[in-house]
Amino acid sequence: MTIEIEDGGIVIDATLIAPLLNVAPEDVPKLMRDGAITSLCETGVGDDAGAYRLSFFYQGRRVRLQVSEAGEVLRRSSVDYGDIPLPQAMHRPGG
């Protein structure tokens, strides 16, 4: 599955991140609108120029996708702290 990257905008199908956040895909848009799911987009520099790191936060989970310039998901990871809130450092670039 690829991610659409056009004119500075990034579009991700909810079915890609929902299972990693442990929510139903149909709930993702509302959770994002309500601010329950937040995100961070980092643009690669140097050897990573043109690539992106997309992070999504929901409750005690952080999901991170590394994406090529063409929108191909190169790597995905998730951290689950369970009932413990995510440390604020995980919400910052490079965290």
pLDDT in tens, 18-46: 999 999 999 999 999 999 999 999 999 99
Give residues with Cβ within 8 angstroms of 58, minimum separation 6: 21, 22, 23, 31, 36, 37, 38
- The pLDDT value given to residue 55: 95
- The pLDDT value given to residue 89: 66
Q: Does pLDDT of 15 surpass 90?
A: yes
Secondary structure class of 72 (helix, strand, coil): strand
Whole-model pTM: value is 0.84
Read off the pLDDT of residues 68-90 as tens digits, 9 standing for 90 and up: 989 999 999 998 888 877 666 66
- The pLDDT value given to residue 83: 80
Number of H helices, E strands in the chain: 2, 6
Q: Does pLDDT of 95 surpass 60?
A: no
What burial class does residue 73 get, using C-beta atoms within 10 Å of its C-beta: 0-12 exposed, 13-18 middle, 19+ buried? middle
- The pLDDT value given to residue 86: 67
